[in-house]
Amino acid sequence: MLKLKDVSFTYVCQSGYIAEDRGPVSNVTGTSETAKSAQSGTADISENSESGTGGRILNSFNLNLKKGEFVLLTGASGCGKTTVLRLINGLIPRYYPGKVEGCIEINGEDISGRELYEISRSVGTVFQNPRSQFFNVDTTSEMAFACENQGMDPKEILKRISVTAGKFNIEKLLNRNLFKLSGGEKQKIACAATDVTGTEVILLDEPSANLDHDASLDLRRLIEKWKSEGKTIVASEHRLAYLWGLPDRLVIMKSGTIDRVMEKNELDTVTPEILASMGLRTNVMENPVNMDLPDIADADTSISLRNFSFRYHNGIFRKSKYSRNFGYDDVRIALNRITAVTGANGIGKTTFLNCLCGLEKNCRGIVEYDGRILDSRERQKKFFMVMQDVNHQLFSESVWEELKLCFTGRNISDSEKTKTATEVLKKLDLYEYRNRHPMSLSGGQKQRVAIACALCSDRDFLLFDEPTSGLDYEHMLSVSDLLKSLRDAGKTIVVVTHDSELIRCCCERKIVLKCS
CATH number, residue 253: 3.40.50.300
Residue 186 belongs to a domain: no
**Could you tell me if 217 and 313 lie in one domain?**
no
Query: What pLDDT score was predicted for residue 313?
Result: 60
- Number of compact structural domains in the chain: 2
Residue 193 belongs to a domain: no
Last residue of a domain, one of 277, 303, 336: 277
**Could you tell me if 341 and 374 lie in one domain?**
yes
**Could you tell me if 308 and 206 lie in one domain?**
no
Q: What is the mean pLDDT of each run of 10 residues along the chain (516 residues)?
A: 95 48 29 33 39 70 96 93 95 92 95 92 88 91 95 96 91 93 82 93 91 88 91 96 97 96 95 96 95 95 91 49 65 97 88 91 90 92 88 92 85 89 91 93 82 87 90 90 90 95 97 82
Give dist(CA 354, CA 209) in Å, integer: 20
**Could you tell me if 296 and 367 lie in one domain?**
yes
Query: What pLDDT score was predicted for residue 428?
Result: 86
The model carries a pTM of 0.81
Query: What pLDDT score was predicted for residue 53?
Result: 44
8-state DSSP, 14: B
Helix, strand, or coil (residue 31):
coil
**Could you tell me if 100 and 203 lie in one domain?**
yes
Give dist(CA 317, CA 138) in Å, integer: 7
Report the first-to-last Cα separation within the chain, whole angstroms.
Answer: 50
**Could you tell me if 298 and 267 lie in one domain?**
no
**Could you tell me if 309 and 398 lie in one domain?**
yes
Q: Quick one: CA dihedral 346, 506, 433, 383, positive or negative?
A: positive
The CB density around residue 163, as the number of other CB atoms within 10 Å, is 12
Last residue of a domain, one of 277, 301, 335: 277
Residue 405 belongs to a domain: yes
Which residue range is the domain that position 402 belongs to?
A: 288-512
Residue 499 belongs to a domain: yes
Query: What pLDDT score was predicted for residue 222?
Result: 86
Residue 144 belongs to a domain: no
Give dist(CA 367, CA 461) in Å, integer: 13
Query: What pLDDT score was predicted for residue 477?
Result: 93
Query: What pLDDT score was predicted for residue 33?
Result: 33
Residue 300 belongs to a domain: yes
**Could you tell me if 217 and 322 lie in one domain?**
no
Residue 189 belongs to a domain: no
**Could you tell me if 213 and 361 lie in one domain?**
no
Query: What pLDDT score was predicted for residue 516?
Result: 59
Residue 170 near residue 140 (C-beta atoms within 8 A):
no
Residue 488 belongs to a domain: yes
Backbone angles phi, psi at 11, to 5 degrees: -70, 140
Give dist(CA 328, CA 341) in Å, integer: 14
Q: Which of 19, 85, 341, 130 is nearest to 235 (CA)?
A: 85
**Could you tell me if 311 and 416 lie in one domain?**
yes
**Could you tell me if 246 and 355 lie in one domain?**
no
Last residue of a domain, one of 277, 304, 319: 277
Query: What pLDDT score was predicted for residue 224?
Result: 92
Helix, strand, or coil (residue 27):
coil
**Could you tell me if 262 and 295 lie in one domain?**
no
